[in-house]
Amino acid sequence: MTRTVKRAVVAVALGLVAAKVALDHARLVEPQRDFTQLWFAARALWRGENPYLEIGHGLAYDWPAPLVYPLPAAIAAMPLAWLPQDIANAVFMFIGATAFAYALTRQGWGPLLGFFSGSMLVAVEIVQWSPLFAAATVVPVFGIVLATKPTIGAAIFAARPSWWAIGGGLLLVLAAFLFDPLWLLHWRDALARNAAIQPPNAPYVAPISFPGGLLVLTALLRWRRPEARLIAVLATVPQTMLPYETVPLFIIATAWHEALLLMALSWGALVWLVSHVDPTDYRPFLATSGPVMVLMLYLPATLMVLRRPNEGTVPAWLERAAARWPAWLRGSPASATDA
């Protein structure tokens, strides 16, 4: 059995475990998960309805907030729209978790410890996109879904630009316009309605706005490395700052001790949060989670990046521009370890 086959077998096994956890959590705790918004939106599109008028508090799909995903995300969910809600959750989580586990083992088995992090557990329970996005930093084909969350997708694309991401994004956007030529207006209206019911700067905040967050940008001293671009751009885009958003950071770990450290810190952060703030009280939990995620995960991951040489292949035009930079910033075009 080749190493690639072994990686695939282990990834599928872990994907099945994640799917079971997601299924059980949805059935025992709350059937509505993050992905089920898009499952419902996809079904609404098939019925010829506007999902932005169907999802929200007191609407056909009773959700605390309007649908803030762009319509291409509902298009991406269409292949699972025919499944029952709980099964669709489980299948989606299987795909994301399997892809993430496979990506983690690109250089060895040690980084697989990141799969067992507190951040990953939250992503599985909520049924989030972050594991699939994290996988796209290693396996370009998964970049076809980056347009579903353009802000986080931008960070992944900065780390791993690919034609898969460009082509997938264009196809999803084109399909969205075919289903609803006015979807951008509907999405904008939903974003405005969501902003009206949220306090200022919540729930979407960039990590650099928290104490110590600006230090994450020092990762750009290693700008040639995919993981440096990943963490720097991820720190600048608005996000919920809940633990699941940090799943892509575990791709940065390339050795077992790095993965073990990030895993332990993620559990420490999660335990501290749930012991000090009621996780069901959404807004205080969000406000508290941001500084904790920066301190416990972003800054340690930044240090990991800074310990590595500024080496990596970049486009020819950027290489020509970098030739005029100081040597300490220019780095070397030698191939960097993929992240």
Q: Going from the first residue of the chain to its last (339 residues), give the mean pLDDT of each consecutive group of 10, the final group possibly shorter.
A: 91 97 86 91 95 92 91 96 94 97 95 97 95 96 94 94 95 96 95 78 83 96 96 95 95 96 96 83 78 96 96 88 88 67
The residue segments making up the domain with residue 45 are: 3-330
CA–CA dist 55, 68 (Å, integer): 10
The reported pLDDT for the residue numbered 334 is 73
The reported pLDDT for the residue numbered 280 is 67
What tokens does 193 get?
């309605």
Who contacts 276 (Cβ-Cβ below 8 Å, separation ≥6)? 288
278 domain residue, yes or no: yes
At residue 67, what are phi and psi to the nearest 5 degrees?
A: -70, 115
CA–CA dist 175, 202 (Å, integer): 31
338 domain residue, yes or no: no
337 domain residue, yes or no: no
pTM over 0.85, yes/no: yes
336 domain residue, yes or no: no
What tokens does 184 get?
């951008």
339 domain residue, yes or no: no
Buried b (16+ CB within 10 A) or exposed e, 227-243: bbbbbbbbbbbebbbbb
255 domain residue, yes or no: yes
Q: Residue 62 has what DSSP assignment?
A: E
Q: How many domains does the chain divide into?
A: 1
- Planar angle of CA 173, 205, 289, nearest 5 degrees: 120
CA–CA dist 221, 230 (Å, integer): 13
The reported pLDDT for the residue numbered 295 is 96
At residue 298, what are phi and psi to the nearest 5 degrees?
A: -65, -50
226 domain residue, yes or no: yes
The reported pLDDT for the residue numbered 339 is 54
The reported pLDDT for the residue numbered 231 is 97
At residue 205, what are phi and psi to the nearest 5 degrees?
A: -135, 140
